[in-house]
Amino acid sequence: MSDRTCIAVDSTCDLPAKFIQQHNIEVLPIYIKHKDGETLDYRDPQTMLNFYKNHSKDQYGLAQSDPLSVNDMTDILRDKLLPKYDLVQVVTINSRKSEVYKRVSEAALVNEPKFREIERKEPGRAPFRIRLYDSMSMFTGHALLVYELVKRIHVDNIPINRALREIDNMRDQVYGYLIPNDLSYMRDRRHLRKADNNISWINFQLANMLNVRPIVQLYRGDTDKIDTGKGFIGALEKLFIHVKKQVDVGLTSEVIAMSYGGLLEEIKDEPLLVEFRDYCSKRNVKTMLSMMSMTGAVNVGPKSFALSFATDKDLV
């Protein structure tokens, strides 16, 4: 891939900071509007650390996330991306759950004449193009697809158009899972939830009373509770048992993507996670762990856990 081509993602894509830096991935920020004002979520590691260290429900309990406006997106396209690149391939969060895709598309359309005028003033430069791809997934599912796209381009040296076609074949094979830890976030935010009003499968009061945590499956844009566990650790154990079975049946991606809504030091040495990663490694499946985006955390609650894999086999 040419240095004048880049992959861009919105900040909900739960990729490790090192991976983003190594592969020159551009991050499109998202606004978080909270009690004390606005914060930009652009997956900056230090900003994320500060967010999780100082997080309080009083400040963020009813926070709302919002993609950049068309004007803000225009500024990024014109000032940051156009001078450096000829082609920007944007991979967004599921367009049914967020308006990121819509905002970027509108900004690209509105600015098309301006881009052509700038190009005319720079003889010899290639036309500036921005292309969009809807991951139809969220959080770690979004990250898994971008990982596979990057692998094909940078490791396998596959042309970007062919790599996108291969990713398109994988998109409907991505299964995402979420274990919310603080159910009060989901309870209090029901009236704020975008395109996901049907969460009646959680009886919040009963779940808290019994210390039960749901395991939520995200597949092709739909969310459903598939199981519950006793507390966060009990739910994590059940999820790993489920995923191990799928690893043994076979995956279509070489990686399982995971994220945690907090400091990674809080979970990376958890025995269940250590054993699960070792299990995958012995079967030549990579695992990738990142901090959950700030946007993800304000929507599903801190200390939540997300995981995604891809398979063309039936779930077992």
pLDDT tens for residues 264-281? 999 999 999 999 999 999
The confidence score (pLDDT) of residue 198 equals 46
The better pLDDT of the pair 246, 220 is held by 246
Instruction: Point out the least confidently predicted range of 25-29, 77-81, 187-191, 219-223.
Output: 187-191
Which domains does the chain possess?
A: 5-171 (3.40.50.10170), 174-310 (3.30.1180.10)
pLDDT of residue 24: 94
- Encode the chain in three state secondary structure: CCCCEEEEEECCCCCCHHHHHHCCCEEECEEEEECCEEEEECCCHHHHHHHHHCCCHHHHCCCEEEECCHHHHHHHHHHHHCCCCCEEEEEECCCCCCCHHHHHHHHHHHHHHHHHHHHHCCCCCCCCEEEEEECCCCHHHHHHHHHHHHHHHHHCCCCHHHHHHHHHHHHCCEEEEEECCCHHHHHHCCCCCCCCCCCCCCCHHHHHHCCEEEEEEEECCEEEEEEEEEHHHHHHHHHHHHHHHHHHHCCCCCEEEEEECCCHHHCCCCHHHHHHHHHHHHCCCEEEEEECCHHHHHHHCCCCEEEEEECCCCCC
Supply the mean pLDDT for the chain: 90
pLDDT score at 126: 85
For residue 210, pLDDT over 80 is answered with: no
pTM of the model: 0.92
The answer to whether residue 179 scores a pLDDT higher than 50 is yes
Tell whether the model's pLDDT for residue 107 goes beyond 50: yes
The model's pLDDT over 182-203, given as tens digits with 9 standing for 90+, comes to: 877 766 665 555 444 444 445 6
The reported pLDDT for the residue numbered 201 is 47
What's the pLDDT band for 57 if we cut at 50, 70, 90?
confident
Residues 116-158: pLDDT tens digits? 887 788 887 888 899 999 999 999 999 999 999 999 999 999 9
pLDDT exceeds 90 at position 312:
yes
